[in-house]
Structure 1
């Protein structure tokens, strides 16, 4: 796993770009495709009633800023044995009733708009949550290709895998067994290419995207989010530079230049 300076630089990159994306708009784009829809956790705009209904139905949800990035502000809430448990950053709190939980959430949200997403019981690596960043790019030969896959591993005790949340990077070989890889990789690639084609229906000049995909215990892929301005720095710190070279080469063919230096 590699994590030395990625954490700091993903924060810098987000600040410099200043781009925010509405999670509900992006979700609704993908819901227009029935195949993709079956791989998207139920996501709704936050309200007290919506939160309560989703907790009763699913038992675990993630509450995220509607326009957030880098995992900032993400709160996991579970309902277990009649108690409500929140996990924010490194802090875990328990509440005897729903009213106390929502008071805590109101203080955290500070009037901002949030979404509620069904929680996925995803695979773990040494007790740490992880997901995959899949990069899809326009190919010099025409069409689109998956050009990179990297694992994003949460810091122990956190519920997000983003570098901004203290996450680390791992190879797919280090996170999945050969059998799991033979099942998961084709599924992720098929799903990611479908996402790219769906996004192109709305953004016709989109030449690359990054899709964050979690894998549940049945080896089913779930789309956590997709990014129209993916940060490829995670591939810089991986020892195998084949994926990085391919990403740069493909990007150059459609006029994209990347600032991938780690120190600046």
Structure 2
């Protein structure tokens, strides 16, 4: 079975939203519609509008409700405050014409030295079962960063170092156990729907320690990770070679 690359965030996220267990770990996600933006902004204090086929955090817009009449729109490295009645106009103005977008409930990520972080989890399927071969953290460059992508200035870090040093008290062993369990379930769910042999998961931990799925990448980037953790990197390479040998 040859690995298939799928770029659509919604195509990979929908099976998880439809799963009774996994849906508890997936932020509410819908296709972008003007009315949906208005409705979800009333329900959630933070929203992310993302290109369905985007990568590396490019084109993501964050909307943060400040009060009943105003919201903060952040895009690239800029932010503006606008009236909620103008929110659709201001968001659409920053969207690329002809591209499909999704709206996702924003998660208040745990922080490390006042900077939000998320987690990079990689699973591979060299034989008939999934193996978790990589876990690390990505720490945003600034406290108000919109995304935690390394391509946008975030830094890779060892996962235990970041969890233990988080600004919020996290039960590290419990978080890691839940993270591993949820990640395996996601890999098995998506692997049952698509011919995947490798999945890179962006996972988040909120300030209360709950594990969240952010998105899945079917072509994860390992650039620069060899130096971060040579042991894990060798494990990843071993599984990669076994996958390639089966082609």
TM beyond 0.5? yes
CA distance in 1, matches of 2:112, 2:158: 12
Unaligned ranges ≥5, structure 1: 1-18, 257-264
CA distance in 1, matches of 2:47, 2:58: 16
| Kept after mapping to 2: 8 A contact 1:20/1:68 | no
Structure 2 counterpart of 1:94: 81
Listed one character per residue, the Cα deviations across residues 44-76 of structure 1 (whole Å, up to 9, x for unaligned) are 111111011111101110110111111001111
Structure 2 counterpart of 1:12: none
Structure 2 counterpart of 1:123: 110
Instruction: Establish whether residue 224 from structure 1 lines up as the match of residue 221 from structure 2.
Output: no
| Kept after mapping to 2: 8 A contact 1:150/1:235 | no
CA distance in 2, matches of 1:119, 1:32: 19
Q: CA deviation at 1:234?
A: 4.5
Secondary structure of the equivalent of 1:95? strand
Structure 2 counterpart of 1:254: 243
Q: CA deviation at 1:94?
A: 0.1
Structure 1 counterpart of 2:31: 45
CA distance in 2, matches of 1:234, 1:50: 39
CA distance in 2, matches of 1:109, 1:167: 23
* Paired residues for 1:79-90 under 5 Å: 79-81=65-67, 82-90=69-77
* TM-score of the superposed pair, with normalisation by structure 2: 0.89
Structure 1 counterpart of 2:185: 194
CA RMSD between the two structures: 1.9
Structure 2 counterpart of 1:153: 139
Give the total of aligned pairs: 235
Instruction: Establish whether residue 136 from structure 1 lines up as the match of residue 123 from structure 2.
Output: yes
Listed one character per residue, the Cα deviations across residues 76-135 of structure 1 (whole Å, up to 9, x for unaligned) are 101112311111122111012322x22221221132221110011110111211100101
Structure 1 counterpart of 2:176: 185
Unaligned ranges ≥5, structure 2: none
